[in-house]
Amino acid sequence: MKNKSYRRLLFVAFLLVMVWCPICNGLQAQNSTTTAAKILNPYTTTLKSLLIPGWGQVNQERLWEAATFYFGSLHFYYNAFFHLYHYNKGHSRHHYNAFRWNLNAALFIHFTNVIDVTDVAFRKNPTGWQGALFSDKPLKSPWGAALRSAMLPGWGQIYTHSYWKAAGFFLTDVYLAFRAHQADIKYRATRKTKYRDERSKYSWYFGAAYLLTMADAYASAYLYKFDQAMQLTLIPMVDSNFLGFHAQIKF
């Protein structure tokens, strides 16, 4: 009995150390005054990547990693549900095996994504994008905005506070994708040429709208508060022969 109690105490102590160390690291990072930039909350960042692969990496402005984890997991999740749908219809062993393989691959990428974002969050204490109104660096990350709209149409516009445009792009992309999907279902059921042509037409429309959504998000981030920057860079100049303003424009 004493041995069991001793082991339990050791186990509880081990858990407390494992939990308390990251908390201390997080508090130390948040209270650090070595940089004026606000350090991202590691727990919030980790939770975001747990919910949607790549979301935490987007906040950390690690865009290549975010795109890899997001589109990689999306690919395998989509294939898994595709094969599950066909397995439920015909109970084919091939679709069942393909479903299991794709689901395992998707979960592996998802789990790796959480480990990656957690490691960076606690070890490197990232601050995300740090723009400045008077510097050559935009206030919002252009490629970060484009990637956000690639992950979810309209998200990049929300990032740049263009809420009406976000709603418009989101509804347009969803509508076009829905029409292409409906045409695909009808074509698979009837094999009629008109549905195939309709599927191709709306697929092209969706592709164009999708690219336009990303391009607009990129431009909106690059020009974010550009007008305010122009107003604030008007510098009054006074000397014995001249009275006026000097405008400085940085590109």
The predicted structure's pLDDT at residue 229 = 55
Which of 72, 97, 128 is where one domain is finished?
A: 128
Angle 207-58-249 (CA atoms, 0-180°, nearest 5)? 85
- The verdict on 142 and 102 lying in the same domain is no
88 belongs to a structural domain: yes
Cβ-contact 73, 53 below 8 angstroms = yes
- The verdict on 102 and 178 lying in the same domain is no
Measured in degrees and rounded to the nearest 5, phi and psi for residue 38 equal -80, 125
- The verdict on 202 and 139 lying in the same domain is yes
The predicted structure's pLDDT at residue 248 = 53
- Residues spanned by the domain of 192: 129-225
The predicted structure's pLDDT at residue 159 = 95
d(CA 106, CA 86): 18
Which of 128, 151, 180 is where one domain is finished?
A: 128
The predicted structure's pLDDT at residue 156 = 96
Cβ-contact 156, 217 below 8 angstroms = yes
193 belongs to a structural domain: yes
- The encoded tokens of residue 73 equal 């997991």
Number of domains, the chain: 2
Closest CA to 69 of 59, 82, 56: 56
- The verdict on 140 and 217 lying in the same domain is yes
- The verdict on 105 and 146 lying in the same domain is no
- The verdict on 119 and 156 lying in the same domain is no
The predicted structure's pLDDT at residue 240 = 53
Q: Kindly list the averaged pLDDT for each block of 10 residues, start to end, along the chain of length 251.
A: 46 46 44 59 96 96 95 96 91 93 96 96 91 76 95 96 95 96 92 93 96 96 74 52 51 46
- The verdict on 153 and 204 lying in the same domain is yes
250 belongs to a structural domain: no
Please, which residues have CB within 8 angstroms of residue 114's CB and are 6 or more apart in sequence?
46, 49, 50
The predicted structure's pLDDT at residue 128 = 87
- The verdict on 138 and 206 lying in the same domain is yes
Helices 63-90 and 93-123 sit at what angle, rounded to 10 degrees?
160
Which of 86, 112, 128 is where one domain is finished?
A: 128
